[in-house]
Amino acid sequence: MSRVGKKPIPLPAGVKLNIGKQMQVEGPKGKLTVEIPPGIRFEQKGATLEVVRDNDSLAASHGLTRALAANAIQGVSTGFTRELDVVGTGFRVDVKGNIATFILGYSHPIEYLLPKGIEMKVDKQTHVVLTGFDRQLIGHVAAQFRALRPPDPYKNKGVRYTGETLRKKAGKTGAGGK
Protein backbone atom coordinates (compact mmCIF):
# COMPACT_ATOMS: atom_id res chain seq x y z
CA MET A 1 0.00 0.00 0.00
CA SER A 2 1.29 3.46 -0.88
CA ARG A 3 2.04 5.38 2.29
CA VAL A 4 2.36 8.65 0.41
CA GLY A 5 -0.87 8.10 -1.52
CA LYS A 6 -2.90 7.48 1.65
CA LYS A 7 -2.05 10.87 3.21
CA PRO A 8 -4.83 13.44 2.76
CA ILE A 9 -3.88 16.77 1.18
CA PRO A 10 -4.99 19.85 3.18
CA LEU A 11 -6.69 22.51 1.06
CA PRO A 12 -5.77 26.07 2.12
CA ALA A 13 -8.25 28.90 1.79
CA GLY A 14 -8.17 30.67 -1.58
CA VAL A 15 -7.28 27.57 -3.61
CA LYS A 16 -9.78 26.53 -6.30
CA LEU A 17 -9.82 23.01 -7.78
CA ASN A 18 -11.28 21.87 -11.09
CA ILE A 19 -11.04 18.10 -11.48
CA GLY A 20 -11.71 16.40 -14.83
CA LYS A 21 -9.25 14.42 -16.94
CA GLN A 22 -6.63 16.61 -15.29
CA MET A 23 -6.69 18.60 -12.09
CA GLN A 24 -6.44 22.38 -12.43
CA VAL A 25 -5.32 24.21 -9.31
CA GLU A 26 -5.69 27.97 -9.07
CA GLY A 27 -4.54 30.13 -6.17
CA PRO A 28 -3.14 33.55 -5.29
CA LYS A 29 0.33 32.77 -6.74
CA GLY A 30 -0.71 31.21 -10.07
CA LYS A 31 -2.35 28.34 -11.91
CA LEU A 32 -1.06 24.76 -12.41
CA THR A 33 -2.40 21.55 -13.93
CA VAL A 34 -1.72 17.97 -12.80
CA GLU A 35 -2.32 14.98 -15.07
CA ILE A 36 -4.54 12.27 -13.54
CA PRO A 37 -3.70 8.73 -14.74
CA PRO A 38 -6.58 6.34 -15.46
CA GLY A 39 -7.74 4.38 -12.42
CA ILE A 40 -6.95 7.20 -9.96
CA ARG A 41 -9.53 9.68 -8.70
CA PHE A 42 -9.74 12.52 -6.19
CA GLU A 43 -12.33 12.82 -3.43
CA GLN A 44 -12.83 16.10 -1.61
CA LYS A 45 -13.88 15.75 2.02
CA GLY A 46 -14.30 19.13 3.67
CA ALA A 47 -10.98 20.99 3.69
CA THR A 48 -8.97 17.94 2.59
CA LEU A 49 -8.44 16.12 -0.69
CA GLU A 50 -7.90 12.36 -0.83
CA VAL A 51 -6.41 10.33 -3.68
CA VAL A 52 -8.06 6.94 -4.30
CA ARG A 53 -6.95 4.16 -6.67
CA ASP A 54 -9.03 1.42 -8.23
CA ASN A 55 -6.65 -1.52 -7.69
CA ASP A 56 -3.23 -2.38 -6.25
CA SER A 57 -1.45 -2.39 -9.62
CA LEU A 58 -1.66 1.42 -9.59
CA ALA A 59 0.32 1.83 -6.34
CA ALA A 60 3.26 3.68 -7.92
CA SER A 61 1.14 6.20 -9.81
CA HIS A 62 -1.09 6.59 -6.73
CA GLY A 63 1.75 8.00 -4.63
CA LEU A 64 3.17 10.02 -7.53
CA THR A 65 -0.16 11.65 -8.36
CA ARG A 66 -0.72 12.54 -4.71
CA ALA A 67 2.76 14.09 -4.44
CA LEU A 68 2.31 16.11 -7.66
CA ALA A 69 -1.12 17.33 -6.52
CA ALA A 70 0.22 18.32 -3.07
CA ASN A 71 3.11 20.22 -4.69
CA ALA A 72 0.71 22.05 -7.01
CA ILE A 73 -1.60 23.02 -4.13
CA GLN A 74 1.29 24.21 -1.96
CA GLY A 75 2.85 26.06 -4.91
CA VAL A 76 -0.21 28.13 -5.80
CA SER A 77 -0.91 28.95 -2.15
CA THR A 78 2.53 29.60 -0.57
CA GLY A 79 5.11 29.00 -3.32
CA PHE A 80 8.57 27.46 -3.22
CA THR A 81 12.11 28.78 -2.79
CA ARG A 82 15.52 27.38 -3.70
CA GLU A 83 18.79 28.97 -2.61
CA LEU A 84 22.23 28.70 -4.22
CA ASP A 85 25.67 30.02 -3.26
CA VAL A 86 28.37 31.09 -5.69
CA VAL A 87 31.79 30.35 -4.16
CA GLY A 88 35.09 31.42 -5.71
CA THR A 89 37.36 34.42 -6.04
CA GLY A 90 35.83 36.84 -8.53
CA PHE A 91 32.69 34.74 -8.99
CA ARG A 92 29.50 36.79 -8.87
CA VAL A 93 25.90 36.97 -10.06
CA ASP A 94 23.75 39.90 -11.14
CA VAL A 95 20.11 40.06 -12.21
CA LYS A 96 18.44 42.77 -14.29
CA GLY A 97 14.77 42.21 -15.05
CA ASN A 98 14.52 38.57 -16.11
CA ILE A 99 18.14 38.15 -17.26
CA ALA A 100 20.67 36.67 -14.83
CA THR A 101 24.36 37.30 -15.55
CA PHE A 102 26.93 34.90 -14.09
CA ILE A 103 30.67 35.65 -13.91
CA LEU A 104 32.22 32.28 -13.04
CA GLY A 105 35.86 32.46 -14.07
CA TYR A 106 35.30 31.80 -17.75
CA SER A 107 36.51 34.20 -20.46
CA HIS A 108 32.96 35.53 -20.87
CA PRO A 109 29.93 36.28 -18.70
CA ILE A 110 27.05 33.79 -18.96
CA GLU A 111 23.57 35.24 -19.43
CA TYR A 112 20.49 33.20 -18.53
CA LEU A 113 16.92 34.17 -19.41
CA LEU A 114 14.65 33.35 -16.47
CA PRO A 115 11.44 31.52 -17.45
CA LYS A 116 8.02 32.98 -16.68
CA GLY A 117 6.93 32.35 -13.10
CA ILE A 118 10.47 32.35 -11.62
CA GLU A 119 11.77 35.32 -9.65
CA MET A 120 15.41 35.70 -8.68
CA LYS A 121 17.00 37.81 -5.94
CA VAL A 122 20.74 38.21 -5.41
CA ASP A 123 22.29 39.04 -2.01
CA LYS A 124 25.90 40.26 -1.84
CA GLN A 125 26.49 39.07 -5.44
CA THR A 126 27.09 35.49 -4.25
CA HIS A 127 23.78 34.27 -2.78
CA VAL A 128 20.90 33.51 -5.17
CA VAL A 129 17.28 33.01 -4.05
CA LEU A 130 14.85 31.56 -6.61
CA THR A 131 11.11 31.80 -5.88
CA GLY A 132 8.07 30.62 -7.79
CA PHE A 133 4.95 28.49 -7.66
CA ASP A 134 6.05 25.52 -9.84
CA ARG A 135 8.33 23.25 -7.82
CA GLN A 136 9.54 21.29 -10.85
CA LEU A 137 10.48 24.45 -12.77
CA ILE A 138 12.36 25.93 -9.79
CA GLY A 139 14.35 22.71 -9.36
CA HIS A 140 15.14 22.65 -13.08
CA VAL A 141 16.38 26.27 -13.13
CA ALA A 142 18.47 25.71 -9.97
CA ALA A 143 20.02 22.58 -11.52
CA GLN A 144 20.87 24.53 -14.68
CA PHE A 145 22.54 27.27 -12.59
CA ARG A 146 24.57 24.64 -10.72
CA ALA A 147 25.58 23.01 -14.02
CA LEU A 148 27.16 26.29 -15.20
CA ARG A 149 30.07 25.67 -12.78
CA PRO A 150 29.57 22.56 -10.59
CA PRO A 151 31.46 22.56 -7.28
CA ASP A 152 35.10 21.55 -7.74
CA PRO A 153 36.06 18.69 -5.38
CA TYR A 154 39.62 20.06 -4.93
CA LYS A 155 39.00 23.75 -4.27
CA ASN A 156 35.23 23.70 -3.53
CA LYS A 157 34.71 26.56 -5.99
CA GLY A 158 31.56 26.78 -8.08
CA VAL A 159 27.78 27.08 -7.79
CA ARG A 160 26.21 24.95 -5.06
CA TYR A 161 22.92 24.65 -3.24
CA THR A 162 22.82 26.42 0.12
CA GLY A 163 23.50 23.86 2.84
CA GLU A 164 24.93 21.29 0.41
CA THR A 165 27.80 19.39 2.00
CA LEU A 166 30.77 18.75 -0.22
CA ARG A 167 33.61 16.30 0.26
CA LYS A 168 36.91 17.95 -0.45
CA LYS A 169 39.54 15.73 -2.07
CA ALA A 170 43.23 15.90 -1.24
CA GLY A 171 45.50 17.09 -4.02
CA LYS A 172 48.59 15.32 -5.34
CA THR A 173 51.33 14.67 -2.81
CA GLY A 174 55.00 13.80 -3.13
CA ALA A 175 57.35 13.73 -6.13
CA GLY A 176 56.94 10.00 -6.92
CA GLY A 177 57.15 8.48 -10.35
CA LYS A 178 60.83 9.06 -11.23
pLDDT 10s digits, 78-123: 889 999 988 888 888 999 888 989 888 889 988 989 998 888 989 8
Boundary (domain end) residue, out of 58, 77, 96: 77
Say if 110 falls within a structural domain.
yes
pTM of the model: 0.82
Number of domains in the chain: 2
Same domain, 47 and 103: no
In single-letter form, the type of residue at position 72 comes to: A
Residue range of the domain that includes 137: 80-161
Q: Count the Cβ atoms, other than its own, within 10 Å of residue 162.
A: 11
Burial class (CB in 10 A: 0-12, 13-18, 19+), 61: buried
Say if 167 falls within a structural domain.
no
Say if 54 falls within a structural domain.
yes
